[in-house]
Amino acid sequence: MAMEIRVSLLLLIFLSSAVISFSLYEDQVGLMDWHQRYIGKVKHAVFHTQKTGRKRVIVSTEENVVASLDLRHGEIFWRHVLGTNDAIDGVDIALGKYVITLSSQGSVLRAWNLPDGQMVWETSLHTAQSSKSLLSVPINLKFDKDYPVLVFSGGYLHAVSAIDGEVLWKKDFTAEGFEVQRVLQPPESSIIYVLGFLHSSEAVVYQIDSKTGEVVAQKSMVFPGGFSGEISSVSSDKVVVLDSTRSILVTIGFLDGVISFQKTRISDLVEESGNAEILSPLLSDMLAVKVNRRTIFVRIGGEGKLEVVDSLSDETAMSDSLPVADNQVAFASVHHEGSKIHLIVKLVDDLDTVLLRESIQMDQHRGRVHKVFINNYIKTDRSNGFRALIVMEDHSLLLLQQGAIVWSREEGLASVIDVTTAELPVAKDGVSVAKVEHTLVDWLKGHMLKLKGSLLLASPEDVAAIQEMRMKSSGRSKLTRDHNGFRKLFIALTRAGKLFALHTGDGRIVWSMLLKSPSKSEACQRPSGISLYQWQVPHHHAMDENPSVLVVGRCGSDSSAPGVLSLVDVYTGKEISSSGIGHSVVQVMPLPFTDSTEQRLHLIADTEGHVHLYPKTSEALSIFQREFQNVYWYTVEGDGGIIRGHAMKSSCAGETADEYCFTTRELWTVVFPSESEKIISTLTRKPNEVVHTQAKVSTDQDVLYKYVSRNLLFVATVSPKGAGEISSVTPEESTLVVYLIDTITGRILHRLSHQGCQGPVHAVFSENWVVYHYFNLRAHKYEVTVVEIYDQSRAENKNVWKLVLGKHNLTAPISSYSRPEMFTKSQSYFFAQSVKTIAVTSTAKGITSKQLLIGTIGDQILALDKRFVDPRRTLNPSQAEKEEGIIPLTDSLPIIPQSYITHSLKVEGLRGIVTAPAKLESTTHVFAYGVDLFYTRLAPSKTYDSLTDDFSYALLLITIVALVAAIYITWVLSEKKELSEKWR
Amino acid sequence: MAPIIRSSPALAFLVLQISFIFFASTLPLSSGSEDGYTITGRVKIPPSNVIGHTAKSSNVKVILNGGQSVTFLRPDGYFTFHKVPAGTHLIEVSAMGYFFSPVRVDVSARHHGKVHATLTETRRSLTELVLEPLREEQYYEIREPFSMLSMVKSPMGLMVGFMVVVVFLMPKLMENIDPEEMKQAQEEMRRQGVPSLSSLLPSAGASR
């Protein structure tokens, strides 16, 4: 027994000593991993199409990205992901060579070099109050060789030099109640008009000298009705605004600083009445107003007279107006008709002149058009050509030109909110796997090449050939299941409510689907996605059924809004069913039971304290009623600092006739004192995690039993003062406390307090251990602590005789109600980087050792062996401990560059890491999402159960051939020798 | 690996010292204003000698307090954080291919935003906020060039080696043994009933 253990330990050491880091050769990049770069939903776009040089479009997005895209192919020239609270308010091009961005509610102005994206200057603007942020880059404003950029934000108007970012002048508009609405700069004039409202009822116009920032004149006039705030500037001396009742359009003229009002009732313009809304596109001498689901175009005549010139259906997206040749101005509108979209470019002056009319077939799963940006170019026949950049409802970005989609980018994938995995279909008999392999000669040739490569004898052409061969090797992108489980689908739900299935082999989109609203009501046109669950994973029964995923969404942003459930077939990407469920969704709990068709039972808790069972079948109900007493769950109220445990009570038949609805009773509550503790993080184990061994054998023949419970909740609290950003408090003011709470009984199993520490806490919980990352204010460094939980009650089973005679309690039933006897071991280390997220690798049987996957602040992912966070590490481990693989204790965790699984790539804006086991025990899939997507396959203990791709079959063959030849030769030789001996 | 880590801070320190001579006089560290102070510093990346690293300063980010605000480098390597309240802060530099120590920065309210900076990894305090990488990071393993030794060390090489030993050296060994002793040994083994080596190698035994 002992011998065996020792042998296995030695084997383990042999295995593990080689596994210090992940390590990848440079030529292996792209073999198992893929990386996709995105930018997010586009907010603003500015075209830069000069006659010479590359044509590009500068965009800013809702993911706080500013990027320069190639207009021909849609590729990213450069991009920058700004900080999470640095939202971009405006983007423009100045001097023809700088991209100017205004961000952080108008307080940061940056200039980027247009060709390569290098930041040129950065200026912080003084802001005093929150208000609209406006960025305008006047084309013809120039003084002293300087081109000012005008920025209005936070109550101040700044003129900033475009060359070096120097503030030329600033003007304070923070006078009481004054809200600036528009900053207008008439062409060929050095006077800037600043128009604003005082207390929403008085219009004020300032005239400012653009050279000095001094107020030349100021006029104000009271409007008795009051304004509603929406404003549209139609020309350099007129704006149109709605009054507070939203039924009268008020034209404010301020020619030469004299304010005049002119009122027009909307009911006089169109027959329909109702609340009007001014749409945002900037059209010259015209404005677009939305009334009763129709968009009307109103032209402003010379004397401020309004007349309706056109009206369109509601679902129309419009671009800003664009100057085309001969002092004419055009704008584009896009609307849907069946599966087609129609792009129409018209002249603003003359709506009957259609410059361009194109119809384009559009994928139904892109939804409506949200935004249109147009740009013109001169064709070879000197007529105007137009290209339109459109943003769809699913956040995708498309370029339309000459009636076709030139390129498209799936920008929805920049905002993934939940990910799950799914299997691919099993290969049918008709599809032969062997087809990929060629003839034996080709195969041998390939392997000879590989051998040459591994011996570093290959020429550059050979290397290229090897690389190409590897990339398309062994059908890694086939759409069938493989033996090792390397080919899988990652199903990603995006913020736009679109579902994408990504192939692990090459990252391509196998199918995508936009969630549809079950009802056609106005309130819920498109449900927003919340989370994804595996609904049906056929294994043993129901093999002919396709697996499916459950998408939980809701109508509207409020948590009490009614939920929507949608079932999607994983193989085809078709929606099987979609239903509004008539109650809100607070929490979704997959239960560990499945029905005869392997549909998993789910409980959904609503805001009224009821839970609802899905699927709504009688079979599911009978299964659930059998387990009725054993269903528990907990809720966390972060604001109140309360954690509650619940159990089932009864069917809520008394209140509603719904037999799938149940009432619950409260079992326990844990209340944290609100003056000293605030919940910042809670975490449980992954419900589908597999634990292979219950016990841990140490070198001194001691056995430690892991306390493996599915009902453990990790809670981290921090003093309310320390709940903010790091470094905002002194060490004395903040204490971090972590708890381990049993979610069945509410018993606090363990409490650990860290004085002088604060959040944010990033934690990972697996098997019997928790690892969490937090900030130590005293050392001013990040720390990582590991807590391992061991079962004391089974500790007496160490005696072999007890086991032999059956006097052990290993088979005794374990009840969640019994008081657990457990003890913990913990240890802390310094860690040199901020962390965005932590995950842990998961394998099919849980035998392979684990690695922590740490998403760092630099958007890289570091694989750290679990052995580095082992509480049994000591400064001087004994020989026996060393044999066991215990690493000497160091005060900080090592950052080995070779163990970055993202190698030289960045997953910009990293938000989450998902791991999923492959069928092969040694291997795990890793999928990381943020603005970018990254996938790789990891083998935390190296691929001990399969040969690597690099395995040189040719060398093996050569060896065998050589051995056979040697045997034959020696045989012949020995025969000869024997013969000669006999003759002697 | 370890000696490299140990030696690099000293090296970085040296480079830093040199850089101080050039930049010490020109660096405005901070300036007070109505809503907080300004931290200005410089990131200095030495020209890389590792092939494949394109250390473009446009891809370097400087991060304050774990993501509270993020800024970028100007072409000359300078960066600025605006509106920083007095107190203790943490600055991290994210640059592909380099490892930077986080920097603890104390902004003093009493001395009008005077900045005191300390590298948290080496606990060395900086007189000026010039950040240098502690070490370069090589993300890929370097392939060992072909050598006979690695060939021999590989499992297949060992197999071949063993075969060579058995085929060519074993008969030689047999030859060296005194025939009398050999016979005695064989007798003994036969009595014990253990399969002898000579019975496994009949040709060697028979030839004697």
Flag if B65 and A726 touch (Cβ within 8 Å): yes
Q: Which member of A24, A80, A456 has the closest CB to residue B141? A: A24
By C-alpha distance, the chain B residue nearest A906 is B96
- Model confidence band, residue A11 (pLDDT cutoffs 50, 70, 90): very low
**Is B99 an interface residue toward A (CB < 8 Å)?**
yes
pLDDT at A314: 64
Q: Which chain A residues have a beta carbon less than 8 Å from that of B88?
A: 727, 780
Rounded to the nearest 10 degrees, what angle do helices A953-983 and B155-164 cross at? 0
**In the predicted structure, residue A504 carries a pLDDT above the cut 80:** yes
**In the predicted structure, residue A12 carries a pLDDT above the cut 60:** no
**Is B101 an interface residue toward A (CB < 8 Å)?**
yes
Q: Which is higher by pLDDT, A836 or B191?
A: A836
Flag if B94 and A118 touch (Cβ within 8 Å): no
Neighbours of B165 (CB within 10 A): 11
Integer Cα distance of A512 and A436 in angstroms: 28
Flag if A963 and B160 touch (Cβ within 8 Å): yes
pLDDT tens sequence across A577-607: 888 888 888 889 998 888 888 889 999 988 8
Closest Cα in chain B, distance from residue A118 (Å): 5
Where do we find the tokens 């791991």? A915
Among B35, B40, B53, B70, pick the best mutation site for testing chain A contact (most A Cβ within 10 A): B70
> Which of A913, A929, A858, A932 is CA-nearest to residue A39?
A932
pLDDT tens sequence across A209-241: 878 878 888 887 887 777 776 777 767 677 888
Flag if B89 and A727 touch (Cβ within 8 Å): yes
Flag if A25 and B66 touch (Cβ within 8 Å): no
Q: Percent of chain A beyond pLDDT 90?
A: 25
Neighbours of A918 (CB within 10 A): 22
Q: Which member of A113, A725, A904 has the closest CB to residue B96? A: A904
Q: Which member of B33, B74, B104 has the closest CB to residue A780? A: B104
Q: Where are the domains of chain B?
A: 37-136, 149-192
The average pLDDT across B165-177 equals 78
Contact between residue A222 and residue A202 where contact means Cβ atoms under 8 Å apart: yes
**In the predicted structure, residue A876 carries a pLDDT above the cut 90:** no
Q: Percent of chain A beyond pLDDT 70?
A: 87
The average pLDDT across A177-183 equals 75
pLDDT at B161: 85
Q: Which of A95-104, A240-249, A457-466, A862-871 has the lowest mean pLDDT?
A: A457-466
Structure tokens at A547: 């697996």
Q: Which chain A residues have a beta carbon less than 8 Å from that of B97?
A: 904
- How high is the mean pLDDT of chain A? 82
By C-alpha distance, the chain A residue nearest B96 is A904
pLDDT at B9: 40
pLDDT at A418: 93
The average pLDDT across B79-93 equals 90
Flag if A974 and B102 touch (Cβ within 8 Å): no
Flag if B73 and A970 touch (Cβ within 8 Å): no
Structure tokens at A682: 């809670």
The average pLDDT across A554-568 equals 83
pLDDT at A809: 61
pLDDT at A57: 92
Rounded to the nearest 10 degrees, what angle do helices A440-454 and A460-471 cross at? 120
Q: Which member of A107, A121, A858 has the closest CB to residue B74? A: A121
Q: Which chain A residues have a beta carbon less than 8 Å from that of B72?
A: 80, 110, 119, 122
Residue A283: CB partners within 8 Å, gap ≥ 6? Answer: A234, A297, A318, A320, A321, A329, A331, A348
- Global confidence as pTM: 0.85
**In the predicted structure, residue B78 carries a pLDDT above the cut 80:** yes
Q: Which chain A residues have a beta carbon less than 8 Å from that of B120?
A: 779-781, 832
Closest Cα in chain A, distance from residue B131 (Å): 15
pLDDT at A802: 64
- Model confidence band, residue B30 (pLDDT cutoffs 50, 70, 90): very low
By C-alpha distance, the chain A residue nearest B167 is A970
**Is B150 an interface residue toward A (CB < 8 Å)?**
no
Contact between residue A18 and residue A942 where contact means Cβ atoms under 8 Å apart: yes
pLDDT at B14: 39
pLDDT at A774: 93
pLDDT tens sequence across A342-376: 888 888 777 777 888 888 888 878 888 888 998 88
Among B96, B104, B119, B207, pick the best mutation site for testing chain A contact (most A Cβ within 10 A): B96
ipTM over 0.85: no
pLDDT at A421: 92
pLDDT at A715: 94
Q: Which chain B residues have a beta carbon less than 8 Å from that of A956?
A: 156
Closest Cα in chain A, distance from residue B117 (Å): 12
The average pLDDT across A817-825 equals 80
Residue B55: strand, helix, or coil: coil
Flag if A780 and B141 touch (Cβ within 8 Å): no
Flag if A86 and B70 touch (Cβ within 8 Å): yes
**In the predicted structure, residue B32 carries a pLDDT above the cut 50:** no
CB pairs under 8 A between A and B: 147
Contact between residue A833 and residue A897 where contact means Cβ atoms under 8 Å apart: no
Flag if A122 and B80 touch (Cβ within 8 Å): yes
Flag if A725 and B160 touch (Cβ within 8 Å): no
Q: Among A108-117, A303-312, A801-810, which range has the highest average pLDDT?
A: A108-117
Q: Which is higher by pLDDT, A5 or A337?
A: A337
pLDDT at A433: 40
**In the predicted structure, residue B160 carries a pLDDT above the cut 80:** no
**In the predicted structure, residue A689 carries a pLDDT above the cut 90:** no
Q: Which is higher by pLDDT, B25 or A228?
A: A228
Q: Among A111-125, A785-799, B3-17, which range has the highest average pLDDT?
A: A111-125
Q: Which chain B residues have a beta carbon less than 8 Å from that of A82?
A: 70
Instruction: Tell whether domain B37-136 is in CATH 2.60.40.
Output: yes
Closest Cα in chain B, distance from residue A727 (Å): 5
Rounded to the nearest 10 degrees, what angle do helices A953-983 and A440-454 cross at? 100
Among A126, A725, A730, pick the best mutation site for testing chain B contact (most B Cβ within 10 A): A725
**In the predicted structure, residue B208 carries a pLDDT above the cut 50:** no
Flag if A978 and B52 touch (Cβ within 8 Å): no
**In the predicted structure, residue A100 carries a pLDDT above the cut 80:** yes
Amino acid at A868: F
The CA-based angle A760-A691-A928, given to 5 degrees, is 45
Closest Cα in chain A, distance from residue B191 (Å): 29
Q: Percent of chain B beyond pLDDT 70?
A: 67
The average pLDDT across A38-60 equals 87
Q: Which member of A82, A897, A906 has the closest CB to residue B70? A: A82
Q: Which member of B101, B121, B159 has the closest CB to residue A959? A: B159
Q: Which chain B residues have a beta carbon less than 8 Å from that of A898?
A: 138-141
Q: Which member of A24, A456, A900 has the closest CB to residue B145? A: A456
Closest Cα in chain A, distance from residue B136 (Å): 9
Residue A552: CB partners within 8 Å, gap ≥ 6? Answer: A529, A530, A531, A532, A533, A563, A564, A565, A585, A588, A604
Flag if A122 and B71 touch (Cβ within 8 Å): yes
**In the predicted structure, residue A801 carries a pLDDT above the cut 70:** no
**In the predicted structure, residue A3 carries a pLDDT above the cut 50:** no
**Is B52 an interface residue toward A (CB < 8 Å)?**
yes
By C-alpha distance, the chain A residue nearest B123 is A779
The average pLDDT across A255-264 equals 75
Q: Is the dihedral of CA A908, A910, A916, A921 positive or negative?
A: positive
Contact between residue A250 and residue A229 where contact means Cβ atoms under 8 Å apart: no
pLDDT at A4: 45
The average pLDDT across A86-113 equals 90
**In the predicted structure, residue A500 carries a pLDDT above the cut 70:** yes
Flag if B160 and A24 touch (Cβ within 8 Å): no
Q: Which member of B70, B75, B82 has the closest CB to residue A120? A: B75
Q: Which of A449-458, A528-537, A618-627, B102-111 has the lowest mean pLDDT?
A: A449-458
Q: Which is higher by pLDDT, A395 or A214?
A: A395
Flag if A122 and B73 touch (Cβ within 8 Å): no
**Is B74 an interface residue toward A (CB < 8 Å)?**
yes
**In the predicted structure, residue A923 carries a pLDDT above the cut 50:** yes
pLDDT tens sequence across A125-155: 888 777 778 888 877 666 667 788 888 888 8
Contact between residue A339 and residue A361 where contact means Cβ atoms under 8 Å apart: yes
> Which of A294, A201, A193 is CA-nearest to residue A237?
A193
Q: Which chain A residues have a beta carbon less than 8 Å from that of B201?
A: none
Q: Which chain A residues have a beta carbon less than 8 Å from that of B58?
A: 78, 113, 116-119
CA atoms within 13 A on the CB side of A65: 25
**Is B48 an interface residue toward A (CB < 8 Å)?**
no
Integer Cα distance of A552 and A569 in angstroms: 15
